[in-house]
Amino acid sequence: MNKKKRTLSSKTMHMTIKSCIVFGLVVQLMALTFYAFALVSQYINSANTTLMQLRHSVAGSADIDAYSGQVMEIYQSLTDEQRQTVGSDEYRELFSSVDTTTTGGDYDTLIKLLAEAYEYHTQNDVADIYIAMYDEKTSAMVYIVDPSEPPNRLMPGDWESVNTEGMMRFLNTTEENKQVLYDIGYTENYGFLCTVGVPIWKDGEIVSFVFADISMKNIKTGMIGFALSLTAAIVILTAIIAWFQTSTIKKDITAPINMIADASKSFASDEHRGQGSKGYFAQLDIHTGDEIEHLVKTMSKMESELYDYGENLLKVTKEKERIGTELSLARKIQADMLPRTFPPFPNRNDIDIFASMTPAKEVGGDFYDFFLIDDDHLGMVMADVSGKGVPAALFMMASKILIKNFAMQKYSPAKVLELANMVICQSNDEDMFVSVWFGILEISSGKIIAANAGHEFPIIKKPGGGFELFKDKHDFVIGGLEGLTFREYELSLEKGGVLFLYTDGVPEATDPNNELFGTDRLIAAMNKYTGLDTKDLITSIKSEVDSFVGTAEPFDDITMLGVRLK
């Protein structure tokens, strides 16, 4: 079935309508964003004013600092196992010494104050008003007083996990700071909520917060009405613009375009028969003085240049083949830079080492390295250069050479990274950087001194145990900033233990559904192969990653290094 033909005027109308729709959506999005921002700001400021007043009432009616301190003292004395029973009768029995029953007591007074404030402000979409305190050590919000009706009431000591970033925003405020404290997030019970908090101070320290949760459901209703009005205006404007543009197109553009189309058809037909010439477009009598006339002149020039196209195409094809050959050679050179002979130290029977690097493109930016500094010290490097392809490969080679050279001078890991960063920053006009984990293993004792410049956490396996993530201290990447110093830390690799290093291409490997392989899946996969030597271990993990990725395009270079003390 032949597709129905449409005139240029018709297409112009459709294009105008589509453009106006897109423009309208952008305008709506911007307008709704400003509308929502203004409305939320109004709610936040209103809630903050209420909480400031409520804070004075709380401080004047009850000994809130002592009451909050009692609750937090009990909470902080609990073990992790006890905290996991939150909400149970056994858990609340741990807080039995906190008075919640005395009529006229602190708890009873605070409940009444909060309940009155909540009842007054519910018409302003305040979902809850309560007193709580953050525990920085456990990243938890510990409830002090909650005026909700039983059985939904949270008792003193009940807690829930919170976002650490939001928590620190509240805890890092000062008594002189007049900035409004709030955090916006999604909750299962209320949807999107904005939590506004006012700190209660005692001797310069925060003892608790008065919080208000603001429901933002009414924003949706207001935004819908606003959007409908704006849509109606855009529809009317679209109709007017489409009619005007269609009329203009018919008069000034359609006829010249049809002449060009006829000339193009004749040109293509004669070219197909091998009878092409250079006069199809030069003979057109089009003098519109605009882009159409310029198009005719351009196409006339194209007739002459097209004859040279075949020869140029052949040159381009040869150049592409040359580049492909050079990239293959570059990949081989890069591979030759990395240690690839295993076992690398055949005369030693105290260590087992294996490594692999699979680039996502012809050449990659990841690299690994290991080398004996002396008979009892093994240097180990795992690194990932920013970017991909040839630039990353060149940067990788320079970084690898610098790190090894400084390491062989028996500098400490932190000093090696510091010196490498200094040299790279002196001539890093392209602002590239590299994340590096570098450690020195004392083979006789299993002690490792290491430094981490923005790289992935290493993975450790103790004899008889499973693989676990070792969350070390990260410093900034190499090449990112001049004058950096780096921290060192120590870990122990026992006899029979394994150290596993890798780049982010492993946990960030992506399947066709855009799901990441992830660190948890990596640890689980490794624990399936705890008894293998390093070569079989890395080969098995690579197979697990390949099976997970399936037909998806490679996302990043995949590099792994395993070291086992025999």
CATH class of 54-220: alpha beta
How far are the Cα atoms of 101, 242, 245, 316, 514 from residue 249, in angstroms, in the given order?
Answer: 82, 11, 6, 40, 45
Instruction: Enter the CATH code of domain 338-565.
Output: 3.60.40.10
pLDDT band at 304 (very low <50, low <70, confident <90, very high): low
Q: With contact defined as beta carbons under 8 Å apart, do 378 and 441 qualify?
A: yes
CA distance 47 to 113: 16
Report the alpha-carbon angle 199-200-203, nearest 5.
120
Q: What is the pLDDT of residues 227-273, one digit of tens each?
A: 777 777 777 877 787 777 777 776 667 777 777 777 777 776 766 66
Tokens 């004075």 — which residue?
A: 56
Q: 496 — phi, psi (to 5°)? A: 90, -10
pLDDT value at 486 more than 90: yes
Rg, C-alpha atoms of the chain: 35
User: How high is the pLDDT of residue 81?
Assistant: 95
| pLDDT > 70: percent of the chain | 84
Beta strands in 96-224 (DSSP E): 126-135, 140-145, 159-161, 181-187, 191-202, 205-215
pLDDT tens digit sequence for 528-547: 999 899 999 999 999 999 99
Helix (H, G, I), strand (E, B) or coil at 381: strand
Inform me whether the pLDDT recorded for 309 exceeds 60: yes
pLDDT recorded at residue 322: 66
**Total Cβ atoms within 10 A of residue 173:** 18
Give the count of beta carbons closer than 10 Å to the beta carbon of residue 478.
31
Residues 6+ apart with CB under 8 A from 480: 433, 454
175 versus 251: the higher-pLDDT residue is 175
Range list of β-strands (E), 346-423: 351-358, 366-374, 377-385
CATH 3.60.40.10 positions along the chain are: 338-565
Looking at the chain, which residues constitute the CATH 3.30.450.20 domain(s)?
54-220
**Region of residue 300 (phi > 0: left; psi between -120 and 50: alpha; otherwise: beta):** alpha
Mean pLDDT over all residues of the chain?
Answer: 84
Q: Is the pTM of this model over 0.95?
A: no
Provide the pLDDT for residue 209: 94
Of 171-185, 235-249, 280-294, which range is least confident? 280-294
Coil, helix or strand at residue 543:
helix
520's CB contacts (< 8 A; 6+ apart) are none
**Alpha helix stretches (DSSP H) within 153-216:** 164-171
Q: DSSP readout, 388-409? A: -HHHHHHHHHHHHHHHHHHHHT
Give the confidence band of 5 by pLDDT, cuts at 50, 70, 90. Answer: low
Query: How many helices and strands in the chain, by DSSP H and E?
Result: 14, 16
